[in-house]
Structure formats: C-alpha cells, structure tokens
Structure 1
C-alpha cells in the first residue's frame, strides 16, 4: 500500500449518515477507525447521505455536490441505498435502473477500480417495533427487501464489486430492540453499527491490500 492516506467516500441514506447516533458511531466512521487501528491509513473524506433519500435523490445529490466535481480519485467508495424506495412504494424496476447508475458512478469516483468499491445490503426494518406500531406488514417488507438486496447483489456481481450482506445482523433487533435500535425504534443503534463493522472490516481491508 501507498504511504499516502486512503481516501474514502460513503454514499447512502439514513443508515450511512447514522440517524440518531453520534457522529463517531456512524458505521463509515467506525470502519475508518478500525482500519486505521489495523495499520491502514484511511481518511473518511466525505459522507453523501441524508435520512429519507431514495436512489434518485442520492443521484441528484452526487450530481449537485460541488466538492466532487469531476473527482475520480477516491481509493474506497461504499454504497448503501434503497430502503426508502421500498418504503415509498416506488417501482422495483426504478431501483434496479438507478442502483446500477449509482454503482457505475461509484466506480467512476473510484477511478474506475471496481475493487475499490463495495455495496452494503439493506437491513430489514420490518422486524422493528416502529414497523409494528405503524401497522406495517413485516412479511411484505421482508419479502420486498429480499428482492431489493437480490438485485443489488446481482448488479454488484455483474460489475465485479464486493457485496456485504449485513441484513442477517439487523434481525438481532427482534429479540433485543433496546440494544440494537436507536430511540426511534427503527434505525440501528451504535451497537448495531459496531457489529456491522466487525463483519465488514476484514473484507474491506483485503480490498485495500489488493490495490
């Protein structure tokens, strides 16, 4: 590896920006910290993510971000998006189309290096107390998010991009909601994000060492 800092860009929605957790508990921040503890020199340059964003809104935000411009020099780019498409009832074909555009953009931002990009699956919010309180059909949510994640995995595979499936970890909130969910009983807690990173970091470190 180069002795220069590894620049990291995280793209997403509420899960990436860490709704209701402290900034230091966001999973991209935790991942950066853990990689640095293991001897990598990673700098989280930017998080482009906002609670509630859908694929089209993330695309628009990337396009409008003046800091990015024509940047193609990130050493690591992550992408986690889609839950709000499902929540709003958008056509799944829209997700399929726009997710691929987003992934291609992520690869472009990584200088064309598919090995420098990774996709994180959408957690299953259907099992949360929030969903129950809102009368949301948890079986429907689980089935639809499985479709979304299958599409994301397939598109990632087609573009030779690593896909990390954290969805099974999100199911821990069924039995321990206070431990694994934030105060809104919907978004992940700092503890949950820590476990995501424990799952992710070895694979991401391997990606970095292959560059």
Structure 2
C-alpha cells in the first residue's frame, strides 16, 4: 500500500510539474514597424528578441516565432500585411505585441485615421492571441524628435513631441478600453537628448543599447502578466 501511495504522489507531483512547464512555454508574435524589426541593429538586438531572452533567464520559456514589421510601415500598411499573411490563418500565439504609429505622424496622417486603424490592429492582435486581451501588450511610440536626425534635417522637435503625445494618448485609451497592457517607453527614448549611444548610425533609430533598456522596462510587467 505504501508503494502505491508513493507512486501516486510521484505521479501527481510529476503531473503538476509537467503542467507548470507547459504553461511556461509561450509563442510570441511581434507586430510593428522599424522599431520592432530593429532598423540597423542585429537580429538578436531587436527588443522583442532581447525581451524573450530576459524572460527565458527568469525561467519563462518564450520564443519569438514571428515578427511582422517593416521600416516605414503605417497602420494601414501593417493591416494590409496581416491580412495578406496566409501563415496567420487558423494560427494563434500566446503573446502578441504591437508598436505602430510613428510613420503615421511622420507622413502627416490624421489622428482620426490612426485612432480607427490602431483599434482595428489591436482587435487583430487580440484575435491572434486566441482572443485573450490579457495576452496582448502595446508599446508606446518613442519620441524621435530628440534625435540628431531632426536637428540635421531642420525639423521641429517640439511639434513632433506634441503630436506623438496625442498618438500615444489615443493608443493608451484604446488599450484601456480593451483591457490591454500599455508600456510607456517614451520617457526612455528621451535619453537620446544627451547620449548619442542610444541612437543608431542613421541618427534616427534606436540603438541596441536603447532597445535593451526598453526590454528591461517591459520585462517585469510582462513577467507579472504571464504569472497571473
């Protein structure tokens, strides 16, 4: 009888352990533009990849299975890319991130268009996350107005900051409406004001060092979300 009980205990512990392990394996889809694909940085230096590595180090097994992002994309272009991607049909991911909008602002698109298309993208992200809003997170648009690119091209950094603030407010409000976590990394992007190490060689996009800090900021919050 003791042997049977011991075997039963071992089986239960093993089952719980296996269940815990299976829950710690997450597939990750990242949606966005140049900031997500990591313009001018190595693949392993992209913030979604860095973030996944940090979580793996914490014992949460997560893999970036797919990145849908291209430099220059606006919200409508990302929508089109998602709609055309046949690999997404009947496919879901455990985690989906979204960072989009800077090119809308850069091209002078209206805020109403951004609001409508961002909401559409967020709904698509939730669907791709198996209709679980808690498994989706949004990252704010960084303020590129503080980069050398703006000064070198005679652009107005103050206006850029003001417009991006409106975009980020729209995104945050929609996230709150759908119960999606919003990570505000914009203050971190301001470090480029005094340290060009945070800027890539084109004087515009974030460097690997900046992406590392984004990942450091997002990691604790995402870790908490995954352990709820």
TM-score relative to the length of structure 1: 0.97
Matches within 5 A, 1:15-54: 15-54=35-74
Please name the residue that 1:153 is paired with.
172
Q: Which of these residues, 77, 88, 93, is aligned with residue 68 of structure 1?
A: 88
Q: Using the alignment, how far apart are the partners of 1:107 and 1:207 within structure 2?
A: 15
Q: Using the alignment, how far apart are the partners of 1:175 and 1:38 within structure 2?
A: 32
8 A Cα contact 1:130 1:186, kept in partner: yes
Please name the residue that 2:10 is paired with.
none
Shift of 1:20: 0.2
Matched, 1:203 2:221: yes
Q: Structure 1: which 4+ aligned runs deviate by more than 6 Å? A: none
Shift of 1:2: 4.8
What stretches of structure 2 of length at least 5 have no aligned partner?
A: 1-19
- RMSD across aligned C-alpha pairs, in angstroms? 0.9
Cα deviation per residue 1:173-211 (whole Å; 9 max; x = unaligned)?
00001x10000010000000000000000101111112x
Cα deviation per residue 1:87-132 (whole Å; 9 max; x = unaligned)?
0001110000000000000000001111100000000001110011
Q: Using the alignment, how far apart are the partners of 1:43 and 1:127 within structure 2?
A: 33
Which has the larger Rg?
2
What stretches of structure 1 of length at least 5 have no aligned partner?
A: none
Please name the residue that 2:201 is paired with.
183
**Could you say which structure has the higher helix fraction?**
2
Please name the residue that 1:169 is paired with.
188
Q: Using the alignment, how far apart are the partners of 2:122 and 2:48 within structure 1?
A: 18
Q: Using the alignment, how far apart are the partners of 1:53 and 1:209 within structure 2?
A: 33
The aligned length equals 208
TM-score relative to the length of structure 2: 0.90
Cα deviation per residue 1:64-91 (whole Å; 9 max; x = unaligned)?
11111132x2110000000000000011
